[in-house]
């Protein structure tokens, strides 16, 4: 069986470093590993519209922003098919058939949908003054199953919040195959392997980095902005003096270091404070953690180190983004070509699905 990746993002804003450690970095590694036969990366504009129906301009703008983030992060159109969900109309057709295999109660139990209904403040009864739940939004797990199965994806690299979507997709695949005969491929989820990457907190220490909370560091943020944000980050509120013992667990700066730090960063920045020679010289994150716990490592020194580490990763991304920003027609062309390739792949699956369902009347 071919090894195929499908994953994607909603184009509701630029991508941030939570997206990067949660999935984007892994995608680029998998792409460059050469271990996969096909890689599909989807900009999920149709899904984004399920709760942004009144704001198509926002989605339209952010399709290009997300594509720029993808290219800047190292996704390569020669190796990965980058495409736009709405341009593959076969996906909506598949969703329509899958809807018959899922109950309302099952959708209501989906923990991600539940959490998102809460977050968006949708009314669950329709009896208060709040906006109700759009049907398209409520059903988006089914549409996501269509996205994944249309490409016969075996592997779906995503963040932890997408786990219920994969579970629901696998159920739909099993139900479809049991009802109509073996047709669809059951995908595996691929989660980040460290706790820090699984759920990178916001700069304010809140559980999730999210645009609406204003606690994101974007891949496209200039170096000065990154430093502003790092400087304002939450650490251990009990760590008042440099000499005080500090807490590492739940300290957002250390969580970010866990997610971003590589051994070579200690050779490069382990002994500097804002580019100047410092009074310390760390060789590993464990050493820095031990000193923080014991007392004697100040928050500003720690933040200056994190800033250097972050910029080491972000600077090449920023530079590549600037190059691609100069050639938007190229970016559009990548998406146009990718969408045509994706459409062809999805059409094959749709034909198989229709045959299995015995609705291939004129073939």
Binding site for ligand TRP (CB under 6 A): 6-10, 44, 47, 144, 147-148, 156, 158, 162
**Residue with the closest Cβ to ligand TRP?**
44
Our CB check for ligand TRP shows the closer of 6 and 288 to be 6
Q: Three-state SS for 276?
A: strand
Nearer to ligand TRP by Cβ, of 64 and 272: the residue is: 64
Residue with smaller CB distance to ligand TRP, 44 or 261: 44
In whole angstroms, the minimum distance from the beta carbon of 218 to ligand TRP comes to: 16
Nearest-approach distance from CB 244 to ligand TRP, in angstroms: 40
Instruction: Considering the complex, state which of residue 12 and residue 251 has its C-beta at the smaller distance from ligand TRP.
Output: 12
Pick the closer one to ligand TRP by CB: 101 or 189.
Answer: 189
CB proximity list for 5: less than 8 A, separation 6 or greater: 27, 30, 36, 38, 39, 40, 153, 154, 155, 156, 157
CB of residue 12 to ligand TRP, shortest distance in Å: 9
Helix (H, G, I), strand (E, B) or coil at 358: coil
Contacts of 304 (CB under 8 A, 6+ apart): 272, 273, 274
First and final C-alpha spacing in the chain: 27
Residue 39 C-beta: closest distance to ligand TRP, Å: 12
- 221 vs 219: CA distance, rounded Å: 6
Least spacing, CB of residue 10 vs ligand TRP, in Å: 5
- Between residues 56 and 245, which has the closer beta carbon with respect to ligand TRP? 56
Cα–Cα distance measured from residue 166 to residue 184, given in angstroms and rounded to the nearest whole number: 14
Q: Which is nearer to ligand TRP, 12 or 235 (CB)?
A: 12
How many other β-carbons are positioned within 10 Å of the β-carbon of residue 152?
A: 21
Nearest to 71 by CA among 326, 258, 257, 349: 326
Which tokens hold the place of 97? 């058939």
Q: How far is the CB of 272 from ligand TRP (least distance, A)?
A: 37
Query: Cβ-count burial of 4 within 10 angstroms (0-12 exposed, 13-18 middle, 19+ buried)?
Result: buried
Q: How far is the CB of 284 from ligand TRP (least distance, A)?
A: 34
Residue 88, both tokens: 């593959």
Task: Work out the number of other CB atoms within 10 angstroms of the CB of residue 278.
Answer: 16
Closest CA to 117 of 101, 103, 130: 130
Q: Which residues on neighbouring strands pair with residue 4, listed in sequence order? A: 38
Q: How far is the CB of 208 from ligand TRP (least distance, A)?
A: 12
* Residue (9 or 69) nearer to ligand TRP, CB: 9
């Amino acid at each position: 069986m071919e090894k195929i990746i499908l994953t994607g993002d909603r184009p509701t804003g630029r991508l941030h470093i939570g997206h990067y450690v949660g999935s984007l970095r892994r995608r680029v590694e998998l792409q460059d590993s050469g271990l996969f036969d096909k890689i599909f990366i989807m900009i999920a504009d149709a899904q984004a519209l399920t709760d942004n129906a009144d704001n198509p301009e926002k989605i339209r703008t952010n399709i290009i922003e997300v594509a720029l983030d993808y290219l800047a992060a190292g996704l390569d159109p020669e190796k990965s098919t980058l495409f736009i969900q709405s341009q593959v109309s076969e996906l909506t057709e598949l969703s329509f058939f899958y809807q018959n295999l899922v109950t309302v109660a099952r959708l209501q139990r989906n923990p991600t949908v539940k959490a998102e209904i809460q977050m968006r403040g949708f009314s669950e009864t329709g009896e208060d003054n709040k906006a109700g739940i759009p049907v398209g939004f409520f059903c988006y797990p089914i549409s996501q199953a269509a996205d994944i199965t249309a490409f016969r994806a075996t592997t779906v690299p995503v963040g932890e919040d997408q786990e219920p979507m994969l579970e629901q997709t696998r159920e739909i695949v099993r139900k479809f195959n049991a009802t109509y005969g073996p047709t669809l491929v059951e995908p595996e989820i691929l989660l980040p392997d460290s706790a820090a990457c699984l759920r990178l907190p916001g700069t304010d220490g809140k559980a999730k980095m999210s645009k609406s909370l204003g606690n994101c560091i974007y891949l496209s943020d200039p170096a000065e902005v990154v430093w502003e944000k790092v400087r304002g980050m939450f650490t251990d509120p009990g760590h008042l003096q440099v000499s005080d013992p500090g807490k590492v667990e739940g300290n957002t700066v250390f969580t970010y270091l866990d997610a971003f730090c590589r051994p070579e960063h200690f050779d490069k920045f382990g002994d500097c404070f804002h580019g100047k020679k410092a009074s310390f010289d760390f060789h590993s994150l464990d050493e820095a953690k031990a000193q923080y716990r014991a007392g004697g490592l100040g928050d500003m020194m720690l933040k200056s180190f994190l800033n250097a580490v972050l910029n080491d990763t972000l600077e090449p991304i920023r530079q590549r983004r600037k190059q691609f920003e100069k050639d938007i027609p190229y970016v559009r062309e990548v998406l146009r070509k990718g969408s045509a390739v994706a459409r062809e792949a999805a059409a094959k699956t749709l034909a198989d699905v229709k045959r299995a369902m015995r609705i291939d009347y004129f073939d």
